[in-house]
Amino acid sequence: MLLEIRDVHVHYGKIAALKGITVEVEEGEIVTLIGANGAGKTTTLKTISGLRPLSSGRILFNGQDISRMPGHKRVLAGIGQAPEGRGIFPGMTVTENLHMGAYARKGDVSKDLAEVFELFPRLAERKNQAGGTMSGGEQQMLAIGRALMSRPKVLLLDEPSMGLAPMLIQQIFTIIEEINRRGTTVLVVEQNAQQALQLAHRAYVLETGRVLKSAPASELLDDPEVRAAYLGGGAGAAGGSGGSGDSGDSGGKAAAVASAPGEAAVVDEPVQKTAPDDRD
Amino acid sequence: MFGNFIDQFWPSTIDGLSLGAIYALVALGYTMVYGVLRLINFAHSEIFMIGTFAALATLNAIGLSAPVGGLALIGLVLMLAVVAGLVSGASAVALEFVAYRPLRRRGASRLAALISAIGASLFLQQLFARVLIPWWFDLPKEKGALPIPKHFTETVDLLSIGDFIIRNDKLFVILGAIVMMIALDQFVNRTQLGRGIRATAQDPETAVLMGVNIDRVVSATFMIGGVMAGVAAALYLMRFGETNYFVGFLLGIKAFTAAVLGGIGNLRGALVGGLTLGLIEMYGSVIFGSAWQDVVAFSVLVLVLMFRPTGILGESLQQARA
């Protein structure tokens, strides 16, 4: 087992954001956490990378307990993350941002730089552009490329589809598959459940700080409960990302992508009572 | 009054630049700490004060017997700057460790850190006024300015072109500040720790995800700010030839003003703001009389902030390429 989260509780002040989450990730897998806004997905990732302290439970990485390891050391241990909102350093160029990804590492990084530019030719074209002036899709590519620069054993992705047009989402997901094929384990958090379930091997459904369900991703795609709640099955209620309204393309997959603000109400309702503070 | 200004233009420009260079060096400490922690380190003025005493103690230990000039003076100033820089830098790191880090660990609000800063400032002033100065200089309760070895402050006119005279001390101050600024610029843009500082200023949480050790970055930031204040203190001692436990107060406020004027959080803004403030003060004192010096300076600050709330260079360390 590469990454094991055992019965983890996390609090923001007195509010419980995670109420005993258990997630396992095998080496070589793509695992996804899906769920509505405030379900605890981002908190789970932040806890794994050490940005949030846990109140109880354990995190094991490569069999080693890293629950108390400071965040900056977890990078060297092999945990790379493309954070929520992408976290691009706005005043640094594309190349400087990528070099930050290799900050903790020693030795030559030119090979890794070349590999990132090969995965994302777009970034190679914009080497010297300031990160803050790039489009959302380019920033997402930069965030993923930067995380790869640390040569992670597991790559944590927080909402890579957020605010992107459907075509761009498809492109990013294809690259995530490619990264996984090259040997990096991936744990991806998504509100865009349809896409995430098609990408992943296994999935966990989170609701208000708990794991509601866990199963192979293909099974969840057919699960009536999951379809109703997260895939816009039938009623058209979408667990969408609330990103930009650029999903005018109403093709088959668009239901999960499109989310008029009002439609998400069904999913959001239980969330606001219990964990309003998940900064999602 | 303006005829006066034209007569005095070049001398007051030199005075303004050398005063402004000291403001700029001290302003760097405010602006860097603000950039990284979003904290106004009000005890920074006392870090400067400590630097003046470190330089003074070194001077007393050397015990000059005659005025020095030329290379010997350069060596002496360098030595004072190094000693004062190290002492101030170490004090700043210790200050952060005692007054801010425990609060940061417990996730205290920024206001709590601000109160802690004011407390630390008062503590250091009183420590020097009531304990260290009487003990060190064998004086009763210290009130006035402290004696500086006079041979150090006897200055030499370096070169003159007509009315335009540059004194060695003023030239040293300006040159010293420029050298320190260039060194800092190189450090922040070219070294790994410098990149860590920039990353932390732009997005602390993501910086951790890159493997940046925030505690180390914060210590380095205080260290650099302290070293700059220490160098400024050595230059100040040479330029103005006096110090006391209160020396940092007004100068600290002026330097903080310079940081805001240039755009707080912006390293180059500290330089621009410092030089601008120094020039305004000197021109203002020539035009309106020296009693109006501070009034003019702060009036200009208010005017600039009315039209450019983010300061002259505007963008802060988060946006700027440091």
Token pair belonging to B110:
């920024």
Q: Which of A213, A216, A236 is nearest to A225 (CA)?
A: A213
pLDDT attached to residue B195: 93
Q: At CA A105, angle to CA A99 and CA A108, rounded to 5?
A: 70
How far B204 CA sits from the closest chain A CA (Å)?
10
Q: A268 is in which domain, residue-wise? A: 3-274
- Is the model's pLDDT at A98 over the cut of 70? yes
Q: How confident is the model at residue B289 (pLDDT cuts 50, 70, 90)?
A: confident
List of chain B residues whose C-beta atoms are within 8 Å of the C-beta of residue A78: none
CA dihedral sign, ordered B134, B137, B140, B141: negative
pLDDT attached to residue B255: 95
Segment A210-223 mean pLDDT: 91
Which DSSP symbol is given to A134? S
**Topology (CATH level 3) of domain B2-307:** ABC transporter involved in vitamin B12 uptake, BtuC (1.10.3470)
How many domains is chain A partitioned into structurally? Answer: 1
How far B200 CA sits from the closest chain A CA (Å)?
9
CA-CA distance, A104 to B213, in Å (whole number)?
Answer: 9
Segment B207-214 mean pLDDT: 95
List of chain A residues whose C-beta atoms are within 8 Å of the C-beta of residue B203: 87, 89
Q: Helix, strand, or coil here: A210?
A: strand
> With DSSP H G I counted as helix, E B as strand and the rest as coil, what are the percentages for chain A, rounded to 5?
40, 25, 40
Q: What are the beta bridge partners of residue A15?
A: A12
pLDDT attached to residue A137: 92
Q: What is the mean pLDDT of chain A?
A: 84
Please report whether residue A280 resides in a domain: no
Assess A83–B contact: CB distance below 8 Å, yes or no.
yes
- Is the model's pLDDT at B76 over the cut of 50? yes
CB contact under 8 A, B195 and A100: yes
Nearest CA in chain A to B199: A89
List of chain A residues whose C-beta atoms are within 8 Å of the C-beta of residue B193: none
Q: Contact, B32 vs B267, CB < 8 A?
A: yes
pLDDT attached to residue B147: 64
- Is the model's pLDDT at A81 over the cut of 90? yes
Token pair belonging to A149:
């620069």
- Find the CATH number of the domain harbouring A144: 3.40.50.300
B209 vs A49, A91, A99: nearest CB: A49
User: Which residues lie below 8 Å from residue B3, measured CB to CB, with a gap of 6+?
Assistant: none
Nearest CA in chain B to A147: B210
Interface of A with B in 211-270 (CB under 8 A): none
Nearest CA in chain B to A71: B208
Which of the residues A42, A103, A140, A156 would you substitute to probe the B interface, choosing the one with the greatest number of B C-beta atoms within 10 Å? Answer: A103
- Is the model's pLDDT at A252 over the cut of 90? no
Q: What are the beta bridge partners of residue A93?
A: A130
List of chain B residues whose C-beta atoms are within 8 Å of the C-beta of residue A152: none
Helix B168-190, helix B9-37: angle, nearest 10 = 30
Please report whether residue A279 resides in a domain: no
How far A96 CA sits from the closest chain B CA (Å)?
9
- Determine how β-strand A210-216 pairs with β-strand A202-207: antiparallel
How far B37 CA sits from the closest chain A CA (Å)?
16
B209 vs A81, A96, A130: nearest CB: A81
Q: Helix, strand, or coil here: A185?
A: strand
HSE value, Cβ hemisphere, 13 Å, CA-based, for B275: 14
Percentage of the residues of chain B whose pLDDT score is greater than 70: 85
Q: Which of A171-185, B70-84, B144-158, B182-196 has the lowest mean pLDDT?
A: B144-158
From residue B298, give the alpha-carbon distance in Å to each of A155, A252, B246. 52, 64, 21
Q: Which of A153, A203, A148, A150 is nearest to A176 (CA)?
A: A148
Q: How confident is the model at residue A263 (pLDDT cuts 50, 70, 90)?
A: very low
Q: Which of B243, B125, B235, B251 is nearest to B177 (CA)?
A: B235
CB contact under 8 A, A87 and B206: yes
CB pairs under 8 A between A and B: 73
User: Which residues lie below 8 Å from residue B156, measured CB to CB, with a gap of 6+?
Assistant: B67, B69, B167, B168
Q: How confident is the model at residue A197 (pLDDT cuts 50, 70, 90)?
A: very high
The residue behind tokens 């621009």 is B272
Assess B322–A contact: CB distance below 8 Å, yes or no.
yes
Nearest CA in chain B to A45: B209
List of chain A residues whose C-beta atoms are within 8 Å of the C-beta of residue B196: 103
The segment with the largest mean pLDDT, out of B50-59, B141-150, B169-178, is: B50-59
CA-CA distance, B123 to A109, in Å (whole number)?
Answer: 48
What's the pLDDT tens digit per position in A65-80?
999 999 999 999 999 9
How far B197 CA sits from the closest chain A CA (Å)?
11
Q: Which of A17-31, A121-135, B97-111, B146-160 has the lowest mean pLDDT?
A: B146-160
Listed by start position, the domains of chain B span 2-307
Q: Which of A1-10, A48-57, B154-163 has the lowest mean pLDDT?
A: B154-163
List of chain B residues whose C-beta atoms are within 8 Å of the C-beta of residue A96: 195
Q: What are the beta bridge partners of residue A4?
A: A24, A60
Q: Give residue A240's Cα distance to chain centre.
A: 15
Q: Return left, alpha or beta for A269; rule: phi > 0 is left, psi -120 to 50 is alpha, else beta.
A: alpha
List of chain B residues whose C-beta atoms are within 8 Å of the C-beta of residue A147: 209
List of chain A residues whose C-beta atoms are within 8 Å of the C-beta of residue B198: 89, 91-92
Dihedral through CA A8, CA A9, CA A11, CA A14, nearest 10?
A: -170
What's the pLDDT tens digit per position in A115-151?
999 999 999 999 999 999 999 999 999 999 999 999 9
